[in-house]
């Protein structure tokens, strides 16, 4: 698979480490009433779709940036690549 | 029709005209007591034990394609019970015992070969860990044997003992481990289940569940609605896709695992060996091909094919311990979809929906578990309580902190 890095251009996926579903960006609020259930859900439960999946890849052998890659799990086709930082800021994460 | 040596000779003398199909091809009925989704090893084994051991009637196995076309036809055929943790080892040891009696139980030749499995040790720390594992196995009634270098050199003289980076220091052997003809497992269970009255319905894809007031009443299929008092799901890599139809999320990701077979060779490899410093396992099939595999590709996938970086990694692992493998040509490679759970151990439990039961999360250890998985899932379906060897395989263990994490990798499914 070739991942089209927004800054570096097309890179071999072997340069990356895979973390999983990009919902991991949206960490629950630890002070919420429902924090325990929220964190069990966050840490362990997955959509695991057969089709389009947004997922986190870490460019370990490259610029060490985190990417959000939209990839089809049936065909391995990659339709979109964004910097995870931009995605996180867009949903209100500042750090 | 029972198979026997006498029957083979009789058919040989009469032109092989008396052989009949090994199972029927029935039309689905409108209602069953128990419907099992998934006609793979685990689903068929469940049906067999439900009918034979637990005396259940009116059972159907629904398979979207043909039986045995999923992971039971795609694995590297290894059986063993060399686990460490209490939640796992009694279960896998029961499985190995069931393998030992399987052919008599099914009246079917599954070519079970207890040729032994050996895990190679490459460092002092690994020796400590493997000896501990061996002790845990023996505490649970399994066999384990520590082998020193001289013993291994006698049995496997061709290994790369003096590799500068990963010298071989010893090994942990389980003599009762070995290999099984994997397709015959599916066929043997199917034939036996069918002979006990189970309807095996192929080309019947489940498209949804009919759930009312928190109770599962049956399944919608490509061949119409089928009512069921109890529904058991045993679909391995497709678990996420199937359970989503019941609006369930699972602590599971689906990943692709590749396997490989070389051209046929004369007998060179007496048992199963595994590389302790990388991830590589190899055995020789009865046809002569070296059957081997390694790590997952590492990303979520439902495509039954992988990519080249893992091919390179697996072949490097093979060259590292067994350089002569480089002289063999690769004949075939393929991929299967693994239901990787968050702690690397399976889930066999009721769901929050009445009458709906789940069996999955086998990661890439499902084949060796086939008989025990069938037995304990049958127990759960028949008695509505877990089998004594499967009490740890609960859905809520991730919430209560009772994970069964053999490798200590945490909630990172692609590392288990």
The CB density around residue A27, as the number of other CB atoms within 10 Å, is 13
Closest C-alpha among B292, B268, B233, B316 to residue B64: B233
Six-digit token string for B144 = 């384990």
Six-digit token string for B172 = 């942990």
- Contact present, B284 and B269 (Cβ < 8 Å): yes
Most A CBs within 10 Å: which of B299, B306, B415, as the mutation test of the A interface? B299
Instruction: Check CB contact of B307 with chain A, cutoff 8 Å.
Output: yes
HSE value, Cβ hemisphere, 13 Å, CA-based, for A90: 7
Q: In the predicted model, is pLDDT for residue A94 greater than 80? A: no
- Contact present, B198 and B25 (Cβ < 8 Å): no
Give B316-355 pLDDT, tens digit per residue: 999 999 999 999 999 999 999 999 999 999 999 999 999 9
Task: Report how far residue B279's alpha carbon sits from residue B27's, in angstroms, rounded to the nearest whole number.
Answer: 45
Task: Report how far residue A23's alpha carbon sits from residue A25's, in angstroms, rounded to the nearest whole number.
Answer: 5
CB contacts < 8 A, A to B, total 72
Give B348-369 pLDDT, tens digit per residue: 999 999 999 999 999 999 999 9
Q: Which residues of chain B have pLDDT under 50?
A: none
- pLDDT for the residue numbered B239: 97
Task: For residue B398, list chain A residues with Cβ-Cβ distance below 8 A.
Answer: 40, 43-44
Q: What is the ipTM of this complex?
A: 0.95
Instruction: Check CB contact of A61 with chain B, cutoff 8 Å.
Output: no
Give A52-69 pLDDT, tens digit per residue: 999 999 999 999 999 999
The A residues from 20 to 39 touching B (CB cutoff 8 Å) are 20-21
- pLDDT for the residue numbered A83: 97
Task: For residue A24, list chain B residues with Cβ-Cβ distance below 8 A.
Answer: none
Instruction: Check CB contact of B352 with chain A, cutoff 8 Å.
Output: no
Closest C-alpha among B320, B68, B104, B281 to residue B179: B281
Instruction: Check CB contact of B203 with chain A, cutoff 8 Å.
Output: no
Q: Taking the mean position of all CA atoms in its chain, how far away is CA B350?
A: 21
In chain A, where the domains are located: 2-90
- CA-only gyration radius of chain B, Å: 21
The answer, as to whether pTM is greater than 0.90, is yes
CA distance A43 to chain B (A): 7
Instruction: Check CB contact of B240 with chain A, cutoff 8 Å.
Output: yes
Contact (CB<8Å) B303/A75: yes
Residue in chain B nearest A40 by alpha carbon: B399
Six-digit token string for B295 = 């790590």
- pLDDT for the residue numbered A92: 86
pLDDT band per the 50, 70, 90 thresholds, residue A93: confident
Give A7-44 pLDDT, tens digit per residue: 999 999 999 999 999 999 999 999 999 999 999 999 99
Contact (CB<8Å) A46/B249: yes
Closest C-alpha among B342, B343, B252 to residue B302: B252
Catalogue all structural domains in chain B, each as residue range(s) with its CATH number: 30-81+84-107+182-251+343-415 (3.50.50.60), 117-177+254-341 (3.30.9.10)
- Contact present, B155 and B270 (Cβ < 8 Å): yes
Task: Report how far residue A66's alpha carbon sits from residue B65's, in angstroms, rounded to the nearest whole number.
Answer: 39
Out of A13, A44, A50, the one facing B342 most closely (by C-beta) is A44
Instruction: Check CB contact of A53 with chain B, cutoff 8 Å.
Output: yes
Buried residues in B115-135 as b, exposed as e (16+ CB within 10 A): bbbbbbbbeeebbeebeebbe
Q: What is the CATH number of domain A2-90?
A: 3.30.2270.10
Contact (CB<8Å) B299/A13: yes
Burial class of residue B410 (count of CB atoms within 10 Å of its CB; 0-12, 13-18, 19+): middle
pLDDT band per the 50, 70, 90 thresholds, residue A95: low
For residue B238, the 8-state DSSP code is: G
Residue in chain B nearest A15 by alpha carbon: B309
Out of A1, A18, A20, the one facing B307 most closely (by C-beta) is A1
- Contact present, B268 and B277 (Cβ < 8 Å): no
């Amino acid at each position: 698979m070739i991942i089209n890095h927004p800054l570096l251009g097309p890179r071999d996926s072997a340069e990356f480490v895979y973390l999983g579903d990009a919902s991991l960006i949206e960490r629950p609020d630890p002070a919420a009433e429902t924090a325990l259930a929220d964190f069990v859900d966050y840490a362990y439960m997955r959509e695991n779709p057969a089709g389009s999946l947004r997922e986190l890849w870490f460019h370990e052998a490259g610029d060490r940036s985190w990417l959000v890659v939209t990839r089809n799990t049936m065909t391995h086709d990659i339709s979109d690549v964004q910097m995870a930082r931009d995605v996180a800021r867009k949903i209100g994460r500042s750090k | 029709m029972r198979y026997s040596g006498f029957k083979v000779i009789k058919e040989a003398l009469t032109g092989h005209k008396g052989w009949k199909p090994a199972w029927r091809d029935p039309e689905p009925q409108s209602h069953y007591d128990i419907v099992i989704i998934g006609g793979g090893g685990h689903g068929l084994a469940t049906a067999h034990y439900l009918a034979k051991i637990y005396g259940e009637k009116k059972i159907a196995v629904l398979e979207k394609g043909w039986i045995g076309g999923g992971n039971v036809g795609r694995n590297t055929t290894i059986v063993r019970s060399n686990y460490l943790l209490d939640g796992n080892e009694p279960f896998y040891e029961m499985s190995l015992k069931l393998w030992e009696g399987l052919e008599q139980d099914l009246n079917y030749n599954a070519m079970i070969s207890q040729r032994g499995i050996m895990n190679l040790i490459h460092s002092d720390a690994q020796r400590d860990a493997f000896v501990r594992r061996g002790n845990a196995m023996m505490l649970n009634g399994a066999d384990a044997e520590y082998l020193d270098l001289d013993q291994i050199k006698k049995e496997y003289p061709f290994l790369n003992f003096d590799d500068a980076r990963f010298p071989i220091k010893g090994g942990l052997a389980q003599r009762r481990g070995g290999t099984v003809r994997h397709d015959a497992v599916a066929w043997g269970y199917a034939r036996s289940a069918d002979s006990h009255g189970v309807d095996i319905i192929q080309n019947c894809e489940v498209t949804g569940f009919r759930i009312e007031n928190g109770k599962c009443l049956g399944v919608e299929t490509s061949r119409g609605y089928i009512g069921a008092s109890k529904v058991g799901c045993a679909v391995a890599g497709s678990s996420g896709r199937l359970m989503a139809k019941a609006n369930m999320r699972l602590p599971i990701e689906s990943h692709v695992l590749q396997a490989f077979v070389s051209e046929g060779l004369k007998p060179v490899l007496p048992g199963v060996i595994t590389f302790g410093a990388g991830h590589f396992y190899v055995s020789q099939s009865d046809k002569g091909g070296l059957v081997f595999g390694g790590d997952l590709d590492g990303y979520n996938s439902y495509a039954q094919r992988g990519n080249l970086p893992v091919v390179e990694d697996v072949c490097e692992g093979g060259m590292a311990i067994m350089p002569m493998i480089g002289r063999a040509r690769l004949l075939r490679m393929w991929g299967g979809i693994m239901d990787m759970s968050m702690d690397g151990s399976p889930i066999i439990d009721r769901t929050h929906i009445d009458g709906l039961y789940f069996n999955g999360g086998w990661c890439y250890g499902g084949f060796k578990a086939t008989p025990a998985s069938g037995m304990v899932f049958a127990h759960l379906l028949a008695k509505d309580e877990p089998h004594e060897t499967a009490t740890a395989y609960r859905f809520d263990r991730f919430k209560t902190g009772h994970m069964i994490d053999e490798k200590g990798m945490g909630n990172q499914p692609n590392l288990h």
